[in-house]
Amino acid sequence: MKNRLWMAGLMGIVLLLGGCGIPNPEPVAEAVAATRNVTSGDEVQRMSVTEARLLADAGQAGLYDTRSERSFRSSHAAGAISFPEADAAARAGELPTDKAVIFY
């Protein structure tokens, strides 16, 4: 559980499978900047797949797949990087600081 809270605090935003998209990703990017220092999972911004794809395609976000390597190899979102939750603490330094970080 502690690892999950740490991950939530680190990530800034979380990708959840969902519905509606947004016409302009700028407000989402601004919201991401405001949530960079979240301290609990309750503070993490959630977004739809469409919102995440818009940000990633615009170069404003990186997609990180937190499932196991095996699951990642089986299938993953285009352009996503494998970042298993179990390795998050050791790999935190690999995360970009110049754009949003979207974990799914």
pLDDT digits (tens, 9 = 90+) for 42-81: 777 888 999 999 999 999 999 999 999 999 999 999 999 9
Encoded tokens for 96: 């970009």
Please report the pLDDT score of residue 10 as a whole number. 45
Residue range 81-91: mean pLDDT, rounded: 91
Confidence band for 89, pLDDT divided at 50, 70 and 90 = confident
Q: How many CB atoms lie within 10 A of CB 49?
A: 15
What pLDDT, on the 0 to 100 scale, is given for residue 38? 63
Strands (E), 54-99: 61-65, 81-82
The answer to whether the CB of 35 falls within 8 A of the CB of 13 is: yes
The strand pairing partners of 69, in sequence order, are none
pLDDT at 18: 34
Q: Is residue 32 classed as helix, strand or coil in its secondary structure?
A: helix
Tokens of 71: 């699951």
- CATH number of the 2-103 domain: 3.40.250
Say if residues 21 and 54 touch (Cβ distance below 8 Å).
Answer: yes
